[in-house]
């Protein structure tokens, strides 16, 4: 496994362990609720012990199995209904998104705190274009140029449910970009 993916691997491993542990607690609580007398009998205690062992075996097996995979954090994911969803981490991380067109060059800028650079790098990787610049404690992903915007950014952004405040800005920007693109304003 490559070194830079270690933190993503660890985050995923902890997340899976938390989910399995939560499921174990729910199963044991439900058992005690539905069978209050049986839960404290010798057979009930043995059953609860076996269930705990089974859940812990799942946690251990998932940790071992994850070592066989190269894990990459992907903050954008496509849902079954073809809508692009952002992970909670991404929504909490992004400070601002701005859509601009100056000198006939469309651009999008996504800003995050410097400490959240991993998320911004994952977004850049998802779009497969752009560059990250640092200013003070803020990192900005800048994607500029009609071809990159039309071929990489817009197809992904069209699938994402934007908030009411950003949706209007995005639609206006998108229409302007396509208007200029269809009139031959291609650049990279």
Domain boundaries, the chain: 3-66, 76-182
User: Are 86 and 75 within 8 A, CB to CB?
Assistant: yes
Predicted TM-score (pTM) of the model is: 0.54
Rounded to 5 degrees, φ, ψ at 184 are 90, 15
Residues 6+ apart with CB under 8 A from 117: 132, 139
Q: Yes or no: is domain 76-182 CATH 3.40.1280.10? A: no
- The helix/strand/coil state of 83 is coil
Residue 16 has a pLDDT of 83
For the chain, residues with pLDDT lower than 50 are 1-4, 187-188
Half-sphere exposure (CA, 13 Å, Cβ side) for 56?
6
d(CA 63, CA 54): 14
Residue 42 has a pLDDT of 92
Residues 6+ apart with CB under 8 A from 102: none
d(CA 171, CA 167): 6
Residue 46 has a pLDDT of 93
Residue 3 has a pLDDT of 44
Residue 5 has a pLDDT of 53
């Amino acid at each position: 496994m490559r070194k830079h993916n270690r933190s993503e691997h660890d985050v995923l491993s902890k997340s899976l362990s938390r989910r399995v542990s939560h499921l174990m607690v729910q199963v044991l609580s439900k058992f005690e609720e539905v069978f209050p007398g049986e839960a404290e009998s010798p057979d009930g205690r043995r059953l609860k012990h076996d269930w705990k062992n089974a859940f812990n075996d799942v946690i251990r097996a998932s940790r071992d199995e994850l070592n066989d995979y190269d894990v990459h954090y992907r903050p954008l994911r496509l849902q079954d209904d073809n809508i692009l969803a952002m992970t909670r981490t991404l929504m909490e991380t992004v400070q601002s998104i701005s859509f601009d067109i100056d000198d006939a060059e469309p651009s999008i800028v996504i800003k995050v705190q410097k400490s959240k650079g991993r998320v911004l790098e994952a977004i850049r990787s998802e779009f497969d274009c752009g560059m990250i610049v640092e200013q003070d404690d803020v990192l900005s992903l800048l994607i500029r140029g009609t071809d990159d915007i039309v071929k990489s950014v817009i197809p992904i952004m069209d699938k994402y449910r934007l908030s009411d405040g950003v949706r209007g800005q995005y639609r206006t920007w998108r229409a302007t970009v396509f208007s200029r693109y269809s009139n031959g304003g291609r650049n990279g």
